[in-house]
Structure 1
Amino acid sequence: MQRVCLALPTMRACPGTIVDLAEEAAYAVETFGAEVHLLVLDTTVDAEFAKNADAVAALVPAPGVFVHHLGNEAQRAFFLDVARRSGSADPELMLDLMLPSDVAYGSCVNRIFLGAAALGCTSAHLRNDDFDYQVVDGAKMFPIHHELLSLGKPAGEALAGVARSELDPADAEKPVMLVSASFMGELNVDIGEINELDPEVYRDLVRLWTPRVWTREQQDAMVEISFKGAEHDSFDPADSVLGVPDIWDVYMCNVAIDHRGYEVLPLVPSLRTIGADYALLHALVHAKLPAVIHKRHIVNYYTPERRVGAGFVSYQLRFVKMLLSMLYLYPVYGQMIDLGRDLLDERHELRVEPILGLVRSTIDLERDTNEQCLDEVDRLYRKLGGKYAELADVVAGQRQQLLDEAREDAIRWAALIEGWAPMVAAARERGLAG
């Protein structure tokens, strides 16, 4: 029986999402006969944690569905024990890379990956705490339908489960490591208000996210598609295509990954940085591994605390950090593209050594580009005025810290990659219980 991990990392009360995911888990058992471990890694506290715990406790038991809800203390105990069992020379550092005190999108997914390994699962199916399923004729369109049809199979066998194929016959023996769809609704980075206030400022700001070596035309083309997801008229619950996808077709908010991918390469454990959870997707896509792209898009929305007061400032600082992170990530992604299939070993699985070398090579890059980026961010936020001008003051006050953190994040990623295989092995040996 296939054992899979349907996972929800959360830092807010989301009882409705927990109920929805339990429905998706039950659907997977009923439709595919899978054993589904619903893993909720929860960093809320007090009343918010209690709401999530109550939602878990109220779930109607379903055959084949096993629910695990871990709060901060349980996670800390688990990951510290795994770090110690892994033989790490610095278990406290490994714990900090996995469960830092600040928001870290990559770290929360890495925790899911180790949890999946501890549970003996062969895949991780990732969802967010701020999404809804599309509903057609009263039925929720669960992405796990397409994920379990194809994930982990040799691509030649996965042909039977897709509507269309663009598979190169030479790739028929390679495993399907990735199944993904997109999202609909609000932008997946919450900067839509900037576009409403001043579309030109929005374009200039998003342009800072594009590779600086690109032409203006290439940058503008990237601005046009960034953060927008699928068109609302593109839905087809049965449509799916097998082949080597474009990186723009895969989204961490709606993805399933085979263990042979995430057990090799962890995500970037960047602190307070949006987009730090995409590095593994880049590796799988640029290595030209076959994947399935379907159209059971989820519906993205944003919770209101991100748009006012301290929540607004915190979220926008994560966006600024994303802009700065690209100095260190784009060289890695670009060289992944150059390496292509050379990123794979004879078993068609990722080789970690060249990726680790690429990450290390970025650590001492000159950061003039990031200095200029912050200058431009300051100008654009002040042009918007109001709360954005106040945000510019905050960014200016943290300028050196932001620059230092962006570099430190690259160092942290290299350290985690080095220790990742022993951590995975230790988690698998330990198990999640106890």
Structure 2
Amino acid sequence: MRRVCLTLPTHRACSGTIRAVAAEAAYGAREFDVEVHLLILDSSPAPVLAEHRRTVAALPSVPRVVVHHFDEAAQRDLLREVIVRSGAAEPDRVLGLMLPDRVSYGACTNRAFLLAEALGCASVHRRDSDSRYQHLDGEPVFPLHHELAALGRRASDVAGLVSRSRLDPAAAHRPVSLVGGSFVGEMSVDVEEIRRLDPVVYEDVIGLSVPDGYPEIWRRNLIAESFRGAGTAAFTGDLTTLTTVGPTRVDMCNIALAREVYGRVPLPPATDTIGSDYLLLHLVHDARLPGVLHNRHIVNFHTGERRSDSGFLAYQLRFTKFLLATPHLHSVYAGTKAAGDSLLDAGGGLRADAVAALVRESTRLDRAENAERLDVVDRSYRKLGGRYTEAADFLAARREPLIDEVREDMAEFALLIDAWAAVVRASGDHELSSGGAA
């Protein structure tokens, strides 16, 4: 029986989300011939972790659903054993990239990839702690439905199951490697505040995320669509498209990837950097691997912490590091776009060596561009005033280290790509207990 991994990484209280995702796991096991492994990777502080343990213990037992709840200590022990067994040249350094002491969107998902491999799963289906499901006629609308129906099947066999196909016929023989939707509801709370306070400043700052050379009309459209997900329209019925999925059309809270993708290339383990975990979506798109885009969008909301002063500064750091990482990432994406089908080996798998070479090349970019980006952020935030002046001071005090850190993040990512194949193999050889660790 096919095993799949439905994963929920978290570092904050989310008992409601745990119960909701468990219900999605039960739906998948009931409606499809699969065994669903619900994998909760928990980096929460001790009181929250204890609450989550009680929540997990109270989940009803469901046939063909296996729940795993790993705190950071359990994750570290497993990762250390796997990394040492892999023969990685610098095991402590690789472990630090897999489980850094700061927030990393890519690292938490990379851990899910490796544990899914240890569990013998064919795919990873990712959700977020600050999200809920839409409802139709009183019932939750689960993205897992489309993910399980299409992922891993040959695109030509999926064509009859979707609402429409926009896939190049030349790719019809390839398996569906990605299934995803977006979110509806609140856009990023801090970015929305910038737009509300000063639309011109908003265009200046968000414009830093747009690749150079775009015609002005495209640039404005990209700025208008950024951080907005799928808007606010309620779900009224399924619409699915077989296509090469555009990375801006989906969100990492609503994504599923086949192991043939994440088993080849990990996500960037950059710390305190939003958006860094979208790299695999670009690789799948640029290599012309088929995907399914659906409209079972997840409802986005923001926890109270995101609205606090400390949460505000933490997000501004992560947002600014994203803007500084953008030139490096765009350099990689320009290379993957130019490579196209040559990103794939003879067996149709992603070529990790080609990706690592592009990542290393991106570390050679001139520092001056990011110095100018920080100037734009500084001017813009001081124009907004209020707590944005505090954010500008906070970032100015870290100016040079931030530029260095972003470059180092990419160098560390290349190192992780080099070690990844061996670590994945070692994970597959690891015997993980059926219930995981609480």
* In structure 2, C-alpha distance between the alignment counterparts of 1:214 and 1:163, rounded to whole Å: 31
**Which one-letter code corresponds to 1:293 in the other structure?**
L
Partner SS, residue 69 of structure 1 = strand
Q: Is the 8 A contact 2:240 2:292 kept in 1?
A: yes
Residues 127-153 of structure 1 deviation map (CA, whole Å, 9 limit, x = unaligned) = 000001001111000000000110000
Q: Is the 8 A contact 2:105 2:273 kept in 1?
A: yes
What does residue 81 of structure 1 align with?
A: 81
Q: Is the 8 A contact 2:180 2:293 kept in 1?
A: yes
C-alpha deviation, 1:209, in angstroms: 1.3
**Which one-letter code corresponds to 2:376 in the other structure?**
E
C-alpha deviation, 1:403, in angstroms: 0.7
What does residue 402 of structure 2 align with?
A: 402
C-alpha deviation, 1:166, in angstroms: 2.0
**Which one-letter code corresponds to 2:384 in the other structure?**
L
C-alpha deviation, 1:69, in angstroms: 0.3
How high is the sequence identity, in percent, across the aligned residues?
Answer: 47
* In structure 1, C-alpha distance between the alignment counterparts of 2:220 and 2:286, rounded to whole Å: 22
What does residue 336 of structure 1 align with?
A: 336
Q: Is the 8 A contact 1:188 1:229 kept in 2?
A: no
* In structure 2, C-alpha distance between the alignment counterparts of 1:74 and 1:348, rounded to whole Å: 35
- Between the two proteins, the alignment pairs up a number of residues equal to 434
* In structure 2, C-alpha distance between the alignment counterparts of 1:237 and 1:9, rounded to whole Å: 29
More off after superposition, 226-235 vs 45-54: 226-235
C-alpha deviation, 1:94, in angstroms: 0.7
Residues 22-45 of structure 1 deviation map (CA, whole Å, 9 limit, x = unaligned) = 100000011002100000000012
* In structure 2, C-alpha distance between the alignment counterparts of 1:249 and 1:18, rounded to whole Å: 25
Matched, 1:250 2:234: no
Q: Is the 8 A contact 1:190 1:302 kept in 2?
A: no
Partner SS, residue 142 of structure 2 = coil
C-alpha deviation, 1:311, in angstroms: 1.7
What does residue 161 of structure 1 align with?
A: 161
What does residue 327 of structure 2 align with?
A: 327
Matched, 1:113 2:96: no
What does residue 95 of structure 1 align with?
A: 95
Structure 2 residues without counterparts, runs of 5 or longer? none
More off after superposition, 246-255 vs 281-290: 246-255
For residues 235 and 424 of structure 1, do their structure 2 counterparts lie closer, same or farther at Cα, with a shift above 3 Å needed?
same
**Which one-letter code corresponds to 2:137 in the other structure?**
D
For residues 99 and 139 of structure 1, do their structure 2 counterparts lie closer, same or farther at Cα, with a shift above 3 Å needed?
same
Partner SS, residue 406 of structure 2 = helix
**Which one-letter code corresponds to 1:408 in the other structure?**
E
Residues 254-302 of structure 1 deviation map (CA, whole Å, 9 limit, x = unaligned) = 0100000000010011010000100011000111111101110001111
**Which one-letter code corresponds to 2:166 in the other structure?**
E
What does residue 349 of structure 1 align with?
A: 349
* In structure 2, C-alpha distance between the alignment counterparts of 1:287 and 1:75, rounded to whole Å: 32
Q: Is the 8 A contact 1:188 1:300 kept in 2?
A: no
* In structure 1, C-alpha distance between the alignment counterparts of 2:278 and 2:112, rounded to whole Å: 15
* In structure 1, C-alpha distance between the alignment counterparts of 2:43 and 2:3, rounded to whole Å: 25
Partner SS, residue 276 of structure 2 = coil
What does residue 217 of structure 2 align with?
A: 217
What does residue 318 of structure 2 align with?
A: 318
Q: Is the 8 A contact 2:136 2:235 kept in 1?
A: no
Q: Is the 8 A contact 1:107 1:268 kept in 2?
A: yes
Residues 152-178 of structure 1 deviation map (CA, whole Å, 9 limit, x = unaligned) = 001111123212222333222101000
C-alpha deviation, 1:188, in angstroms: 4.6
Matched, 1:146 2:157: no
TM-score, L = length of structure 1: 0.97
Q: Is the 8 A contact 2:190 2:312 kept in 1?
A: no
What does residue 384 of structure 2 align with?
A: 384
Matched, 1:173 2:173: yes
Q: Is the 8 A contact 1:176 1:292 kept in 2?
A: yes
Matched, 1:272 2:268: no
**Which one-letter code corresponds to 1:199 in the other structure?**
P
C-alpha deviation, 1:189, in angstroms: 6.9
What does residue 412 of structure 1 align with?
A: 412
**Which one-letter code corresponds to 1:114 in the other structure?**
L
**Which one-letter code corresponds to 2:275 in the other structure?**
G
Structure 1 residues without counterparts, runs of 5 or longer? none
What does residue 31 of structure 1 align with?
A: 31
Residues 330-383 of structure 1 deviation map (CA, whole Å, 9 limit, x = unaligned) = 010011111111111222221112111111111121111100000110001111
**Which one-letter code corresponds to 2:329 in the other structure?**
L
**Which one-letter code corresponds to 2:173 in the other structure?**
E
